[in-house]
Amino acid sequence: MRLARAWSIALVGMEATLVEVEVSIGGGLPNTMIVGLGDTAVKEASQRCRSAVAAAGFAWPPSSVTVNLTPADMPKSGSHYDLPLVAATMAASGVVPRRALEATLFLGELGLDGRVRSVRGVLPAVLGASRSGFERAVVPLGQIREAQLVEGIGVVGVESLGHLVAVLKGEPYDVDVVDPAAGSDEVAGSKDLADVVGQPEARWALEVAAAGGHHLSMVGPPGVGKTLLAERLPGILPDLAVDEALEVSAIHSMLGASLEGGLIRRPPYADPHHSASLPALVGGGPHLARPGAVSRAHRGVLFLDEASEFSPAALEALRTPLEKGVIVLARSQGAAAYPARFQLVLASNPCPCGWYNVAGFASRCRCQPYAIKRYSSRLSGPIIDRIDIQLRLQPLSKSHLRGNHPTEETSAVVAQRVLEARSRQRHRLDRHGFSRNAEVPGSLLHRDLPNPTGVEDVDAAVRRGVLSSRGVDKVLRLAWTIADLMGHGVPDRGDVHTALAMRQGETEEVNCA
């Protein structure tokens, strides 16, 4: 009996677990059997491998081949076990030396012609292997740059099975160098604030949201520019820090995005359609769950257009990630945790037709009062509670359409102010373990930070009933962000009132007994 082993990785959520692929070639009728709780993609590996081996000019062992994936009680899925399987088989049958398989991670799918194809999750897998002390990772050639993002581990890209054998035997191999898809030019893709005509209030709200990391809700009639604005929020957010970028890139790698352009350094943007299913939004799937839109938007912006049209279950599912910054998807075969710390931007119409209470269009709305009420109450209290800025968008006023106003500020100018405000926040909040005003809990606001001047006006607003007592903390957080943007050490009365004005209309949520 001949035995060999190769190493690969199973990803449960973002967590990488080492998987040992053991191959034993014994006597008996020709037969290949894979054990160890593999899903269909794993079971079908034997067909792919046999064909690929033949195509590369080798012979599949003409006897009984048993493949065991251990730990055997952990479910495994995906097509990236093809490469370790074939490597171990060749080592067991003596084609390549067993030693070449030591401390080496194998990832990759095989085509029937012996080509090595890309797989999902190369970055988190190689990251996990590097942390476990592996010295070398063999990955599909097309994903070599993605694997090279991980430091402290040698990366070998293989183009085909023949290439793999050459690498393992230490022989030279000529690769037809095909320039792997040129890195996407991300700057060209991002959208600029200068494209937004007028809407200074909305631009300001966007700037504050970006500076403090505040969740934002926009209400306005159709065509007023809600999507236009939301798409421009990532463009004014600061670059991701290295550890954040690695986290974000790992998630996107799992989702199958190409990282050949390098780490994702810009905050991502996800805008699921309102018909999105619950698994699409928060992640899911059978056996072991895949990341959803909330994780795709990790460290970036999650934009829900027509928020009132999302199913209540989908909206409620946002509550945990909003609170904890992570989503844990428990399935019968294990729980997967994905980071999901996103900035939420909601856009909705004031009513089903979109024209209720829009100045100048009062007679246009034909919705029943009950329908209007129901429409606006779709967003539940716990979600609304998390939203610091409520912006009401108005159709452009005539003076803005008519006048030839100066060119608007570009995203770069605004982003610079946001960056400065962020650094002020970090300076103040670092020792409390926070980085953005939106994350600051009420206790810290009231106990450890100095009281803004004019804070008594906030109390007065509560007494007059124009601000709910829950709104107090939001106003204070906003006031701090505004002060950071204006360069004030502590919010002054003006900052507090600017914050108050940014919550106009909040009392509309109050329902009568």
Residue 199 touches other proteins, criterion: CB under 8 A: yes
Q: Residue written as tokens 């023949």?
A: 162
Task: Mark residues 30-59: x for contact with other proteins by CB under 8 A, - for none.
Answer: ------------------------------
Residue among 322 and 482 whose Cβ is closer to other proteins: 482
Q: Which residues contact 172 (CB under 8 A, 6 or more apart)?
A: 166
Q: Is residue 115 within 8 Å of 160, Cβ to Cβ? A: yes
Residue 501 touches other proteins, criterion: CB under 8 A: yes
Among candidates 129, 48, 114, which has minimal Cα distance to 81? 48
Residue 497 touches other proteins, criterion: CB under 8 A: yes
User: Interacting stretch for other proteins, rule CB under 8 A, among 70-78, 113-121, 188-196, 503-511?
Assistant: 503-511
Residue 505 touches other proteins, criterion: CB under 8 A: yes
Q: Residue 32, exposed/middle/buried by CB under 10 A (0-12, 13-18, 19+)?
A: buried
The β-bridge partners of 11 are 16
Residue among 269 and 356 whose Cβ is closer to other proteins: 356
User: Interacting stretch for other proteins, rule CB under 8 A, among 117-125, 194-202, 274-282, 337-345?
Assistant: 194-202
Residue 465 touches other proteins, criterion: CB under 8 A: yes
Residue 385 touches other proteins, criterion: CB under 8 A: no
Residue 171: Cβ within 10 Å count: 8
Q: Is residue 111 within 8 Å of 52, Cβ to Cβ? A: yes
Residue 8 touches other proteins, criterion: CB under 8 A: no
In whole angstroms, the minimum distance from the beta carbon of 506 to other proteins comes to 10
Phi, psi at residue 420, to the nearest 5°?
-65, -40
Residue 486 touches other proteins, criterion: CB under 8 A: yes
Residue among 52 and 202 whose Cβ is closer to other proteins: 202
116-117 and 109-110 strand pairing: antiparallel
Structure tokens at 62: 């003409």
Residue among 189 and 403 whose Cβ is closer to other proteins: 403
The β-bridge partners of 8 are 19
User: Interacting stretch for other proteins, rule CB under 8 A, among 47-55, 78-86, 288-296, 491-499?
Assistant: 491-499
d(CA 90, CA 87): 5
Residue 508 touches other proteins, criterion: CB under 8 A: yes
d(CA 200, CA 398): 14
Residue 200 touches other proteins, criterion: CB under 8 A: yes
Phi, psi at residue 257, to the nearest 5°?
-75, 150
Amino acid at 177: V
Q: Which of 127, 461, 472, 476 binds other proteins (CB under 8 A)?
A: 461
**DSSP letter (8 states) at residue 130:** H
Q: Residue written as tokens 């698994």?
A: 279
In whole angstroms, the minimum distance from the beta carbon of 223 to other proteins comes to 16
In whole angstroms, the minimum distance from the beta carbon of 216 to other proteins comes to 15
User: Interacting stretch for other proteins, rule CB under 8 A, among 69-77, 122-130, 150-158, 499-507?
Assistant: 499-507
Residue among 402 and 431 whose Cβ is closer to other proteins: 402
Q: Residue 176, exposed/middle/buried by CB under 10 A (0-12, 13-18, 19+)?
A: exposed
Q: Which of 357, 435, 453, 468 binds other proteins (CB under 8 A)?
A: 357
Q: Is residue 301 within 8 Å of 342, Cβ to Cβ? A: yes
In whole angstroms, the minimum distance from the beta carbon of 201 to other proteins comes to 5
Residue 364 touches other proteins, criterion: CB under 8 A: no
In whole angstroms, the minimum distance from the beta carbon of 192 to other proteins comes to 19
Residue 470 touches other proteins, criterion: CB under 8 A: no
d(CA 414, CA 417): 5
The separation between CA 503 and the C-alpha centre of its own chain, rounded to angstroms, equals 29
Task: Mark residues 387-416: x for contact with other proteins by CB under 8 A, - for none.
Answer: -----x-x--x-xx----x-----------
Residue 460 touches other proteins, criterion: CB under 8 A: yes
What length is written for the chain? 513
Q: Is residue 126 within 8 Å of 137, Cβ to Cβ? A: yes
Q: Which residues contact 443 (CB under 8 A, 6 or more apart)?
A: none
Q: Which of 359, 406, 407, 469 binds other proteins (CB under 8 A)?
A: 359
Residue among 318 and 502 whose Cβ is closer to other proteins: 502
Which residues of this protein are in contact with other proteins, per CB under 8 A? Answer: 198-201, 203-204, 357-359, 362, 392, 394, 397, 399-400, 405, 457, 460-461, 463-465, 482, 485-486, 493-498, 500-502, 504-505, 507-508, 510, 512-513
